Structure 1
Amino acid sequence: MTTLISWITYDQNKQSSLYIASDSRLSWSSQVTWDSGRKVYCSSKYPDILGYCGDVTFCSQITSQVMTYIDSCEVFEVEPSPHQRFQLIYNLIKRSFGAYPTKCALDEFSIIYATRIKKYSFAAFEIKWSKAKGWESNELKIPNQTGIITASGSGGGIYKNRYRNNFERSDISGYSRSYYSCLYHHVISGDDPLTGGPIQLAGIFNTKAAIHHGVLMGGARYIYGMEVDETQNMNCVRWINENFENCDGQALVRHANAQRQPLPKNIGKPLGKDSRRKPLPR
Structure 2
Amino acid sequence: MIHTSTEDRVTDFRRDDLALEPYLSGSNHINTGTGERIASIVGGSALLYYGFQRLSIKRVLMSLAGLVLLKRGISGHCELNEAIGRNTAKHEGSPVLVKKSITINKPREEVYAFWRKLENLPRFMKHITEVDQLDAEGKRYHWQMEAPKLGKKIDWEAEIVDEIPNERILFRTYNGSDVGQAGEVTFKDGPQGQGTEMQATIKYYPPEGSIGSAIARMFNSLIENVVHEDMRRFKYLLETGQLPLGKGTPGGSSGGGNPTSEEEEK
Greater percentage in helix: 2
TM-score w.r.t. the length of structure 2 is 0.28
TM-score w.r.t. the length of structure 1 is 0.27
Greater percentage in strand: 1
Considering Cα pairs closer than 8 Å and 6+ residues apart, tell me whether 1 or 2 has the greater RCO.
Answer: 1
